[in-house]
Amino acid sequence: MKFFIDTADLDEIREALSWGCLAGVTTNPSLYAKTGGSLSGFEEHMTKIARLCEGLPVSVESCAKTVEDMVADGRRLSALAPNVVVKLPVCAEALAATRTLASEGVRVNMTLVFSAPQALLAANAGARYISPFIGRFDDISEDGLDQLGTVIACVHNYDWAGRNPDDTVEIIAASVRTPHHVTQAALLGADIATVPLAALRKCLRHPLTDQGLTGFDAAWEKVRAQG
């Protein structure tokens, strides 16, 4: 399972890139709003992220409401940089826009997916990535991981050759909040987990690693003292 970072913050992306294991970035309007960015600065900011992550997919979301506007946004956003993936929320208009964009070679990440039927519709329309959300199910006391497993099983049952520019669909486990979500997403066979930096940091640390390191450092000090 690959790791994407779920943020629009350039410093957070720089930090995650420095770890050497980042495979992409997902952004959304809430994450962009958190950076304090303006409407007029949106595309410039997304271009900066795409350049910083050259060669890695960067999802940039359109807030358009009609098929025509989604297609126009998709064309414009995908022209910002070759690694931009256009993110659209699953709905009838977005499916139609995805069909057009996919036929033009534009990669689409279909977001706000909460069910297997939504995911299958997205894959048939030509989505390159599908993002089922985990945490938001948990927020309403439902099992987000159970839903993720169902989506993965249904989508991976089929061959999506000819449907999108890369002939393959990858499932991005989204709305990931904890290391437990990461482990379970991998066990369920998610292709990618998109994870906020705070949760990535929790994935990296373990108290036994810290304890072990303290012990090794103390032992090494003794060795050094002995000369």
Binding site for ligand E4P (CB under 6 A): 6, 26, 28, 111, 131, 133, 135-136, 174-175, 194
**Helix (H) or strand (E) run with residue 15 in it:** helix 10-18
Tell me how far, at minimum, the Cβ of 26 lies from ligand E4P, in Å. Answer: 4
In whole angstroms, how close is the CB of 227 to ligand E4P at the nearest point? 53
Q: Rounded to the nearest whole angstrom, what is the least distance from the CB of residue 218 to ligand E4P in the complex?
A: 40
Residue whose CB is less far from ligand E4P, 106 or 218: 106
Comparison of 5 and 116: residue with beta carbon closer to ligand E4P: 5
Q: Which of 48, 65, 87, 202 is catalytic?
A: 87
Question: CB neighbours (10 Å) of residue 103?
Answer: 11
Q: What single string gives the DSSP state of each residue in 172-225?
A: EEBS--SHHHHHHHHHHT-SEEEE-HHHHHHHH--HHHHHHHHHHHHHHHHHHH
In 3D, which of 100, 149, 94 has the Cα closest to residue 121? 94
Q: Is 87 a catalytic residue?
A: yes
Q: What are phi and psi of 183, to 5 degrees?
A: -60, -45
Q: Decide whether 109 or 164 has the Cβ nearer to ligand E4P.
A: 109
Which residue type does 89 have?
P
CA neighbor of 199 nearest in space, from 214, 182, 213, 212: 182
Q: Which lies closer to ligand E4P via its Cβ, residue 135 or residue 179? A: 135
DSSP, res 158: S
- CB-CB neighbours of 201 under 10 Å: 14
Question: Catalytic amino acids?
Answer: 87
